[in-house]
A and B are shown apart, each in its own frame.
Chain A
Amino acid sequence: MKFFFNVGRYFSMLKRVFARPERHKMYIRQLFREIDNLGVNSVGIVIVISVFIGGIMVIQFAYSMSNPLYPSELVGLGTRDTLILEFSSTMLALIMAGKIGSNITSEIGTMRVTEQIDSLEIMGVNSASYLILPKIVAVVFIFPFLFIISVFFGMLGGLLTGPVAGVITVPEYLDGIRYLFYPYYVTFSIIKSLFFGFLVATVPAYFGYYVQGGAFEVGKASTRAVVNTNILILLFDLILTRLLLT
């Protein structure tokens, strides 16, 4: 029963979120703030994680393909396709659910328990829309860029690590990442990023918006938000992969 209650309340919140804004200028100002706060501030961690994962992937691919029958280009190809198809969209979304999601839940949840949301409502502001809509637009907008940045730096990580670790040469790696490239993989992953961006913004916003109690409950809501977002990301990954890739 609680599950259905939460699903119903989530969609009723979304209905309020997508209502007509009171003053577009204020929402746009808020949007730029959110792009900076949630998006631009995440670029650093995305680069760091992608460089390391790219490097690790090259070493692992090289290790598992250390058979003279396999062409060495497969290391680059495997790294590229894994980054594009899964890591830079799904894995990154899971990581961002932790970073951005907990940020959204704690920010909105704190506003709820300190009566800032009530204060907006009393003023006649649609608090759900004013607080959540700019976050959704910002995260959905920034996710494809984070995906592209992640793929680029992941491959760069492989390029830097492979030759240094002595598992592959630079020309072999570069040949590999250009070998059998399907542009549709990028389209598919960008579509996934858009879905995941929506989940990463709305699910934590829901848990924050309806939190009751004090700081302790805000902390618990953040944890629940991240767990639920992660489960939904994986579920949608499965559904989208089945629908778009097979």
Chain B
Amino acid sequence: MIEVKNLYKSFDGNEVLKNVSATFENGKTNLIIGRSGSGKTVLLKSILGLFEIDSGEIWYNERNLTQMGEKEVKRMRREIGMVFQGGALFDSISVEGNVRFPLDMFTRMSSKEKKERVEFCLEHVNIEKHAFSLFPSEISGGMQKRVAIARAIALNPKYLFCDEPNSGLDPETATVIDKLIQSLTKEFQMTTIINTHDMNSVIEIGESVLFISKGEKGWEGTKDEILKTDSKKLNDFIFANKLYAQMKGK
């Protein structure tokens, strides 16, 4: 479980996050939604410790990230898997090499064990064997995202972060990626936080949804509750999505 308490973050005097508190539960797909520029990426990066916050607390189970030293943060990051918006695969190494990278860097596994783990992760995200030796530039965007997920779960993380994992993908592939993240979250009992502005993702996998508006917590609930919300800010945001508008109409 990850808990954020009274988080404030500003850049050059401009307050981007204002008193944000939220709980992201274990074994659930927790979504952070909001308009572009609402502060959701800053929130995600603050939780990851990539941004130094002004005040507040960030708890990873019993550990307070804001009180940790550099070494502790580094150690804790080995429990974190991250899927970046563009995949962020290392383009000088193959698909297989990308997934093996964290294993080479942080484990004492034998070559055989690493090979098995790489195959396990890649097969879990439905990457076929013939693609193992290809380079990131030789595979499609959807496959790159799946390889990024495979790399993120290679070290068996407790926490999985995804920054707009289905951006730039067609709706069908986006749904596949969403479902994949959800099933991996259940299977490995991870605390998963997904940053998105895609309402389809909310409808598909939004077990817990946090809506950020102008740096503040605008709303919190589930995908079922979002259909019945009276929150004006949230409705303004989601009514932009026709599909959702149709569903709400039904």
Q: Is the CB of A123 within 8 A of B48?
A: no
Which residues of A have CB within 8 Å of B75? 124
Query: Contacting A124 at CB < 8 Å: which of B77, B84, B90?
Result: B77
Interface segment among B22-30, B32-40, B100-108, B197-205: the answer is B100-108
In angstroms, how far is the closest chain B Cβ from the Cβ of A217? 16
The secondary-structure label for the interface of chain B is mixed
Query: Contacting B50 at CB < 8 Å: which of A22, A26, A118, A123?
Result: A118
Which residues of B have CB within 8 Å of A36? none
Asked whether A160 is an interface residue with its Cβ less than 8 Å from the other chain, the reply is no
> Known contacts A123-B77, A124-B74; is A118 also within 8 Å of B84 by CB?
yes
Asked whether A1 is an interface residue with its Cβ less than 8 Å from the other chain, the reply is no
Which residues of A have CB within 8 Å of B89? 116
Q: Is the CB of A115 within 8 A of B105?
A: no
State the CA gap A245–B2 with chains docked (Å).
63
Asked whether A119 is an interface residue with its Cβ less than 8 Å from the other chain, the reply is yes
Which residues of A have CB within 8 Å of B105? 22-23, 26, 123, 125
How many residues on chain A are close to B (CB under 8 Å)? 16
Which residues of B have CB within 8 Å of A126? 74
Query: Contacting A23 at CB < 8 Å: which of B80, B88, B90, B104?
Result: B104
Which residues of B have CB within 8 Å of A238? none
Q: Is the CB of B85 within 8 A of A115?
A: yes
Nearest B residue to A23, CB-CB:
B105
State the CA gap A124–B82 with chains docked (Å).
11
Say which size band chain B's interface belongs to. 20 to 34
Most B CB within 10 A of own CB, among A111, A122, A125: A122
Asked whether B218 is an interface residue with its Cβ less than 8 Å from the other chain, the reply is no
Which residues of A have CB within 8 Å of B77? 121-124
> Known contacts A121-B50, A123-B78, A124-B77; is A114 also within 8 Å of B104 by CB?
no
Q: Is the CB of B104 within 8 A of A115?
A: no
Q: Is the CB of B106 within 8 A of A119?
A: no
Q: Is the CB of B106 within 8 A of A114?
A: no
State the CA gap A22–B77 with chains docked (Å).
14
Query: Contacting A22 at CB < 8 Å: which of B90, B91, B106?
Result: B106
Q: Mark A1-34, 1 if CB is under 8 A from B, else 0.
A: 0000000000000000000001101100000000
Which residues of B have CB within 8 Å of A119? 82, 84, 88, 90
State the CA gap A220–B84 with chains docked (Å).
25
State the CA gap A22–B106 with chains docked (Å).
8
Q: Is the CB of A116 within 8 A of B74?
A: no
Nearest B residue to A121, CB-CB:
B50
Asked whether B86 is an interface residue with its Cβ less than 8 Å from the other chain, the reply is yes
Which residues of A have CB within 8 Å of B104? 23, 25-26
Q: Is the CB of B50 within 8 A of A114?
A: no
In angstroms, how far is the closest chain A Cβ from the Cβ of B98? 10
In angstroms, how far is the closest chain A Cβ from the Cβ of B141? 13
State the CA gap A137–B242 with chains docked (Å).
57
Q: Is the CB of B102 within 8 A of A116?
A: no
In angstroms, how far is the closest chain B Cβ from the Cβ of A210? 15
Nearest B residue to A125, CB-CB:
B105
State the CA gap A221–B75 with chains docked (Å).
33
State the CA gap A180–B124 with chains docked (Å).
71
State the CA gap A121–B104 with chains docked (Å).
15
Q: Is the CB of B85 within 8 A of A122?
A: no
Q: Is the CB of B82 within 8 A of A122?
A: yes
Scan residues 64-81 of chain B and give those whose CB is less than 8 A from a CB of chain A: 74-78, 80
Nearest A residue to B85, CB-CB:
A115
In angstroms, how far is the closest chain B Cβ from the Cβ of A131? 10
Which residues of A have CB within 8 Å of B78? 123-124
Query: Contacting A115 at CB < 8 Å: which of B88, B101, B161?
Result: B88
State the CA gap A125–B155 with chains docked (Å).
14
Which residues of A have CB within 8 Å of B161? 122
User: Can you list 18 A-B pairs with a CB-CB distance of less than 8 A?
Assistant: A23-B104, A25-B104, A26-B105, A114-B88, A115-B85, A115-B86, A115-B88, A116-B89, A119-B88, A119-B90, A122-B48, A122-B77, A123-B101, A123-B102, A123-B106, A124-B74, A124-B75, A124-B77
If A115-B85, A123-B101 are given as contacts, then 10 extra A-B residue pairs at C-beta distance below 8 Å, sorted by A number, are: A23-B104, A114-B88, A116-B89, A116-B90, A118-B50, A121-B50, A122-B80, A122-B82, A123-B78, A125-B105
